[in-house]
Structure 1
Amino acid sequence: MEKMVFVISFCMLFSFASIEAVQNGSLITHLPGFNGAFPSKHYSGYVSVDEKNLFYYFVVSERNPSRDPVVLWQNGGPGCSSFDGFVYEHGPFNFQEGKPKGSLPTLHLNPYSWSKVSNIIYLDSPVGVGLSYSQNTSTYITGDWQTAVDTHTFLLKWFALYPEFVSNPFYISGESYAGIYVPTLASEVVKGIKAGAKPTINFKGYMVGNGVTDPVFDGNALVPFAHGMALISDDIFKEVEVACGGNYSNPADTCDQKLEKVYSAIAGLNIYDILEPCYHDPKAQQNTKGNTSLPVSFQQLGVTERPLAVRKRMFGRAWPYRAPVKDGIVPLWGAELAENQLHVPCTNDEVATRWLNDAAVRNAIHAQPENVAGPWELCTTRISYYHNAGSMIPYHKQLTAEGYRALIFSGDHDMCVPFTGTQAWTKSLGYKTITPWRSWISNGQVAGYLQAYDHDITFLTIKGAGHTVPEYKPKEALDFYSRWLDGKPI
């Protein structure tokens, strides 16, 4: 008996020693561009899922790591790196362009980092995105279902590497196309819990910002948004409303002709925030009308079901870029797009690109060099991605019905995934209104509006914010984020 106890104790000590060795190997001790002490521990590295090497950057909470929630963050695309969130939105640092131009950025502590109140994992997913890579490039052909399964496997392995966090409340969060990633992953996590997957994840809920959800609701969102924001006249609105019968997501030819007036009116705007200037990239694809502000992301996120003829008129070529059909499903991203490098319009990603492609930075964060993992890009073209999970509304209905909390938030000046569609689909769930439409306050000022429903789902707007809410309104974003995680009223 004593021998058995000794063997078990020895195995446990060996296991803990192995975990500690892995964690120490993942600990970040310095970052090029930053001089000073980290406010909390940072870890990064790869977790292997079959042949796939998924890269994560983990920031320990600055408040109470042992009790604060663990939050997974994913950016969208599909194909965009979660370092977008890390560098430009709610990461622990603010990045300042290096001087002289072309030198490494300078990093300063971010007073509105989400690590102030939570442990947060930034994950590059699916494989092929950001710093995640595979030697078998056939794994770069993926979709909604495979991404959810792989990310769930990643989480199980990650919590095995960091077992001290397995009892913390766990939340899944993301923005844009993560409106698909988040509910599908949440569904996989719940299935894993029911099936007895170990370690047992203490899943509590999820957050989605300006998220793609449903082709009909998303496709119908633009016209009322443009009208409400005074981007189209009453006359244009009435014309398209009559011609389309309120259905803009898959219109008939007569409706298409009227919609051209809408597209013409909004040409030249920054679709991610209509109040901000659009930084036009001369290399970006332009359509026959010279419009540089209606990118593939707008087609993909808002109106993916449009007829081919309309896509050609809007974007100057067919969408999605001659990529092959697989199992009757056309991919959103095609590998053949790589011949025409993708440029995300109206954005400047030079700081992140310069920093994450620096050899010293990659060494410091335990990322593979460019000759192994490839160059870091804000949004990659090397994956072929299939949107095969359909509408997210059934996922939201099931998850909230099972008691998982949901915060659905929207920057109210985003034209890429307008709040009008998000407001409509949250209402369509049919839940009883618990808190009627009202303003919410941050720093003594109205910061937006919210409506809360039964089953703990809240729709919230952020006044003056664009597609990436924490980038535009960092203080207000930390405010609603911390209140919601702590279970306090917003």
Structure 2
Amino acid sequence: MAISPLFFIFFLTAAAAAAAPERESESHLISEVPGFSGSLPSKHYSGYITVDEEHGRNLFYYLVISEGNPAVDPVVLWINGGPGCSSFDGFVYENGPFNFEAGNTSASGGLPKLHLNPYSWSKVSSIIYLDSPAGTGLSYSLDHSDYTTGDIKTAADSHKFLLKWFKLYPEFTDNPFYISGESYAGVYIPTLAAEVVKGITEGVKPVINFKGYLIGNGFTDVKYDGNSFVPFAHGMGLISEDMYEEVHTVCAGSYYMNEDEACQEKIAEVRLELKDLNKYHILEPCFHSPEQQEAEFVESQLPPSFRKLGETERPLRVRKRMFGRAWPLNLMVQQGRVPTWPELGRSLPCTSDEIASSWLNNQAVRSAIHAETINITGPWELYTAKIDFIHDTGSMLEYHKNLTGQGYRALIYSGDHDLCIPFSGTEAWTRALGYKTIEKWRPWFFNEQVAGYVRGYDYNLTFMTVKGSGHAVPEYKPKEALAFYTRWLSGTTI
């Protein structure tokens, strides 16, 4: 019997497809997400990229493909702060694809139940959650000397990660690329962006189509950030007019690192007034009463200004207190070694992040997302004790001037009820760059209501506030966060 030519062509095509090697990135494809039932609205990938073969230094990422048009939508890298805070903080509690509900049945094995997050940033972009530096989250090194690190080394490793990542996913090389994050990512982002721009200038391949960055409540400059809490507390009605006038006069408007003894005494009085507030969101309640909290922490070295941490407004309330994102008022990050939170009392119960911990320390989850076992990485922690971190870059102001001066877009946003990195300090340093105001201070709207205020500067620099939000804007105001994120990425008016 004669063989049909069409059958012969089909046979050759099928044989060629079978013989074609599988793309390496397909080995990172997630086929199921433990705790979630149903169909994912887009593909998810995760795994390790080695940034140092000799040391076995591996950075873990989780990629959520855009639910819109991934062929053209921006690719955005998300980094949490710390230093040493896992970016699964953002994935689980902020702008990730799921809302997590605590597991309480034997049928689920105690695993959290995952629901689709209607305000995920993957609605309009592909987003990469990166655990960096090595030792943070699920990232690790076989040479533990790598856990002594700093800003410069972290930026270099993250740049190596990106170059290898785009080789792994060449289909995204032409997509607009942005870097985003919050808190100490106010240092991570400009330093990484500088490495990316340097690579572009030097012709490093692949060429990253870098367009800009966005930073939420980010640590930037010790002078501006450290001096902002007193005026913020006064403006928010947290200290009296008399107290403000006294501290302002004695300290001559310089509140941080002022060595004058009389000034230090007045600053101590201000901190005493603020000690029972939720520093991440001054309107949010504290998890424990002041008396109970003080009793629990009586033996701790944790500063009093960070002992009262509050709740959040997620659709499913999974986080009772927040931890590891910014420094207390009396421990502003300075040049040199940055002490880790475990040194300040991590051994005592100062957080309730059981949801993320129970999910990421479950072996079925780790297998599904291609993460190494606990005996390799250690247990997942929101904030690691493994790294010994050096802040070795100083102020970020020159980084911002250099980046925006070269035409890269920058959105600097602040939840306006954050006492850790107050919006007033961030507003001050954006003004201090000296750029011409292109768009005067005005309200921006969501659902026909004022959602905050925005000011536009020359060189594509935008400063904005998010009304009623605390330190982690996508957690406290997920709807508004997705709205401004969408508008800014698309280049439309916020």
TM-score, length of structure 1 as denominator length: 0.88
In the TM superposition, what is the alpha-carbon distance from 1:249 to its structure 2 partner? 1.7
Residue matched to 2:307: 292
Tell me, what secondary structure is at the counterpart of 1:403?
Answer: coil
Tell me, what secondary structure is at the counterpart of 1:341?
Answer: coil
For the structure 1 residues 30 and 205, does the alpha-carbon distance in structure 2 shift closer, same or farther, using more than 3 Å as the test? same
Say whether 1:219 aligns with 2:226.
yes
In the TM superposition, what is the alpha-carbon distance from 1:197 to its structure 2 partner? 0.6
| Whole-angstrom CA distance in 1 between matches of 2:346 and 2:408 | 40
In the TM superposition, what is the alpha-carbon distance from 1:333 to its structure 2 partner? 3.0
| Whole-angstrom CA distance in 2 between matches of 1:141 and 1:244 | 37
In the TM superposition, what is the alpha-carbon distance from 1:409 to its structure 2 partner? 0.2
Tell me, what secondary structure is at the counterpart of 1:465?
Answer: coil
Which of 172, 179, 203 is matched with 2:179 structurally?
172
- Summarize the alignment of residues 64-463 of structure 1 with structure 2, pairs less than 5 Å apart: 64-100=69-105, 103-251=110-258, 252-280=260-288, 282=296, 285=300, 292-293=307-308, 300=327, 304=331, 330-333=336-339, 337=342, 341=346, 345=350, 347-463=351-467
Structure 1 residue runs of 5 or longer lacking an equivalent are 1-12, 307-319, 321-328
Tell me, what secondary structure is at the counterpart of 2:263?
Answer: helix
| Whole-angstrom CA distance in 1 between matches of 2:397 and 2:305 | 36
Q: Residue type matched to 1:28 in 2?
A: I
Answer whether contact 1:250 1:305 (CA < 8 A) is retained. Answer: no
| Whole-angstrom CA distance in 1 between matches of 2:303 and 2:481 | 39
Q: Which moved more, 1:286-295 or 1:174-183?
A: 286-295
User: What do residues 387-439 of structure 1 show as CA deviations (whole Å, max 9, x unaligned)?
Assistant: 00000000000100000000000000111111010000000000011111110
In the TM superposition, what is the alpha-carbon distance from 1:330 to its structure 2 partner? 3.4
In the TM superposition, what is the alpha-carbon distance from 1:279 to its structure 2 partner? 2.5
Residue matched to 1:315: none
Say whether 1:466 aligns with 2:470.
yes
TM-score, length of structure 2 as denominator length: 0.87
| Whole-angstrom CA distance in 2 between matches of 1:231 and 1:33 | 42
Tell me, what secondary structure is at the counterpart of 2:154?
Answer: helix
Residue matched to 2:59: 54
Q: Which moved more, 1:99-108 or 1:358-367?
A: 99-108
For the structure 1 residues 418 and 17, does the alpha-carbon distance in structure 2 shift closer, same or farther, using more than 3 Å as the test? farther
In the TM superposition, what is the alpha-carbon distance from 1:293 to its structure 2 partner? 2.9
User: What do residues 244-283 of structure 1 show as CA deviations (whole Å, max 9, x unaligned)?
Assistant: 1111121121110111111011111111111112225746
Answer whether contact 2:134 2:146 (CA < 8 A) is retained. Answer: yes
Q: Residue type matched to 1:167 in 2?
A: D
Tell me, what secondary structure is at the counterpart of 1:331?
Answer: strand
RMSD: 2.4
| Whole-angstrom CA distance in 2 between matches of 1:17 and 1:376 | 37
In the TM superposition, what is the alpha-carbon distance from 1:443 to its structure 2 partner? 1.1
Answer whether contact 1:226 1:232 (CA < 8 A) is retained. Answer: yes
Tell me, what secondary structure is at the counterpart of 1:279?
Answer: coil
For the structure 1 residues 179 and 302, does the alpha-carbon distance in structure 2 shift closer, same or farther, using more than 3 Å as the test? farther
Tell me, what secondary structure is at the counterpart of 2:23?
Answer: helix
Structure 2 residue runs of 5 or longer lacking an equivalent are 1-15, 310-321
Tell me, what secondary structure is at the counterpart of 1:261?
Answer: helix
| Whole-angstrom CA distance in 2 between matches of 1:342 and 1:214 | 30
Tell me, what secondary structure is at the counterpart of 1:434?
Answer: strand
Residue matched to 1:38: 40
| Whole-angstrom CA distance in 1 between matches of 2:137 and 2:443 | 37
For the structure 1 residues 259 and 487, does the alpha-carbon distance in structure 2 shift closer, same or farther, using more than 3 Å as the test? same
Answer whether contact 2:85 2:324 (CA < 8 A) is retained. Answer: no
Tell me, what secondary structure is at the counterpart of 2:300?
Answer: coil
Answer whether contact 2:159 2:196 (CA < 8 A) is retained. Answer: yes
For the structure 1 residues 22 and 352, does the alpha-carbon distance in structure 2 shift closer, same or farther, using more than 3 Å as the test? same
User: What do residues 431-461 of structure 1 show as CA deviations (whole Å, max 9, x unaligned)?
Assistant: 0111111100011110000111010100010
| Whole-angstrom CA distance in 1 between matches of 2:28 and 2:401 | 38
Answer whether contact 1:333 1:381 (CA < 8 A) is retained. Answer: no
Q: Residue type matched to 1:254 in 2?
A: A
Tell me, what secondary structure is at the counterpart of 2:484?
Answer: helix
What is the identity percentage for the equivalent residue pairs of Structure 1 and Structure 2?
58
In the TM superposition, what is the alpha-carbon distance from 1:213 to its structure 2 partner? 0.1
In the TM superposition, what is the alpha-carbon distance from 1:229 to its structure 2 partner? 1.0
For the structure 1 residues 342 and 410, does the alpha-carbon distance in structure 2 shift closer, same or farther, using more than 3 Å as the test? farther
For the structure 1 residues 296 and 259, does the alpha-carbon distance in structure 2 shift closer, same or farther, using more than 3 Å as the test? farther
Q: Residue type matched to 1:259 in 2?
A: I
| Whole-angstrom CA distance in 2 between matches of 1:299 and 1:447 | 24
In the TM superposition, what is the alpha-carbon distance from 1:48 to its structure 2 partner? 0.3
Tell me how many residue pairs correspond in the alignment: 453
| Whole-angstrom CA distance in 2 between matches of 1:272 and 1:278 | 10
For the structure 1 residues 183 and 299, does the alpha-carbon distance in structure 2 shift closer, same or farther, using more than 3 Å as the test? closer
Answer whether contact 1:90 1:113 (CA < 8 A) is retained. Answer: yes
